[in-house]
Structure 1
Amino acid sequence: MALPRRTAFPVEQIRRFLEPGPLVLISTAWKDRRAIMTCGWHMMLGYDLVGTYIWNANTSHALARRSRQCVINLPTGPLLDTVVRIGNCSSAEVDKFGRFGLTALPAREVDAPMIGECHASFECRLHETRITADYPLFVWRVVRAHAATRPRWPRTLHYRGEARFMVSGRELSRRRLFRPDMLGQ
């Protein structure tokens, strides 16, 4: 394999390489208020732990801190324009479920609503609070998961920066290269 030619690259643009995880919609609720936010800054921290960066100026931040719960919803290709529009407005000014025609479904373990149009929804309770005072990083424990049965591998949305998106596509299997004890991971 030939080595790629490299040049200097702006540090503030590295997200186009390091942020290939799917965009999610985080739904939160507290008392009579609810919110939805588009989130690309999240990470798996364990098989049932997810970290999300929720800026403290977002309505979702306040609702998540107060309720200590959320639902992480996984949108797919047909929701791309809605995902962008959700990110362009504030839940403090509009009910995003109503504005974007989304179905709020009741969750089983948390008070935040699931988004019916999403391929999957993960009900979460706040697991870690020590670091949220200085950094708006929430560590969630997934307490219940819901996923559509088809397609098995949904075409998820990925933000590349500069208003460019990627929809996941072709899958490649390397099952034959895995040790048998590593296949469940």
Structure 2
Amino acid sequence: MAMKSYPLEKAFTFIEPGPVLLVTTYNESRYNIMAITWHMVLDFTPKIAVATGPWNYSFNALLKNRECVLAVPTIELAEKTVHIGDCSGKTIDKFQQFGLTALPAEKIKAPLIGECLACIECKVTDYLESQNFFVLQGINAWYDEEHKEIRKFHANGDGTFVTDGPTLDLRNLMEDKLPAGV
């Protein structure tokens, strides 16, 4: 084995988080969707951080309304998801443009996405401006158990994506660390 120097500005591609998510917001009687790859689960509770800033149309809705839905698309939505991330909700209705179904959430105004595997209704609990981090608290979760495709896709950060493969089950090694019910 031999390690070789690698450009630091590309090092994030080794640990780019996933899966790719769609984030819905509501602002001024309009729904919007943005694609996001920069996120992380903060602990075993539904506390999640996402990174975005004023360059995204949804940013102001997140700051103003302090809510969103994190929707989990599966691989059949991969190309649509990339297209969603390549355009602005400032000029188009992304639900209409990409043929997606806005479903009512139970506790917030931002909608669920009917074509996604799962959705998490979230409230913004903190915004760390210096890092462009929104800290979200999940307040309600949805799962489509009839969804045929369950494989998610993960961004490598360079325009390529990896899809989920077989699951490696090592629960027996971690049981003492997992919260009850997980």
Which letter does structure 1 place at the counterpart of 2:58? S
**Structure 2 residue matching 1:86: 3-state secondary structure:** helix
CA distance in 1, matches of 2:87, 2:149: 30
Unmatched tracts of structure 2, length 5 or more: none
Q: Say which SS state the counterpart of residue 66 (structure 1) adopts.
A: helix
1-side partners of 2:172 and 2:149: how far apart? 19
1:181 aligns with 2:176: yes
Q: Secondary structure at the match of 1:55?
A: coil
Q: Structure 1 regions of 5+ residues with no counterpart?
A: none
Contact 2:155 2:161 (8 Å CA) reproduced: yes
Which residues of 2 match residues 48-127 of structure 1 at below 5 A? 48-127=46-125
Looking at structure 1, the residues matched to 28 and 110 of structure 2 have their Cα atoms a distance apart, in angstroms, of 10
Q: TM-score, normalised by structure 1?
A: 0.90
- For residue 170 of structure 2, what is the amino acid of its counterpart? R
State the alpha-carbon separation in 2 of the partners of residues 12 and 36 from structure 1: 28
Q: Please, which moves more after superposition, 36-45 or 151-160?
A: 151-160
Cα offset, 1:34, TM superposition? 2.1
Q: Spell out the pairing of 1:2-81 with structure 2 (5 A cutoff).
A: 4-46=1-43, 47-81=45-79
- What SS does structure 2 have at the residue aligned with 1:14? helix
Q: How many angstroms does 1:152 deviate by? A: 9.9
In 2: Cα distance, 1:161 partner to 1:5 partner:
24
Conserved 8 A contact 2:101-2:114: yes
**Which amino acid is 1:144 matched to?**
N
| Count of aligned residue pairs for this structure pair | 179
SS in 2 for 1:37: strand
Displacement of 1:21 in angstroms is 1.9
In 1, Cα distance between equivalents of 2:154 and 2:111: 23
Q: Please give the secondary structure, in 2, of the residue aligned with 1:12.
A: helix
Greater shift after overlay, 50-59 or 11-20? 11-20
CA contact (8 A) 1:34 1:63 kept: no
Query: In the TM superposition, what is the alpha-carbon distance from 1:91 to its structure 2 partner?
Result: 0.6
AA paired with 1:45? L
Per the alignment, do residues 54 and 101 of structure 1 end up closer, same or farther by CA in structure 2, a change over 3 Å counting?
same
Q: Deviations over 1:159-178 (max 9, x none)?
A: 11221111111111112323
In 1: Cα distance, 2:31 partner to 2:170 partner: 42
In structure 2, the partner of 1:171 is: 167
Distance (Å, rounded) in 1 between the aligned partners of 2:50 and 2:38: 6
Provide the C-alpha distance between the structure 1 equivalents of 2:148 and 2:167, rounded to a whole number of angstroms. Answer: 11
TM-score (norm 2): 0.92
Secondary structure of the residue aligned to 1:182 is coil
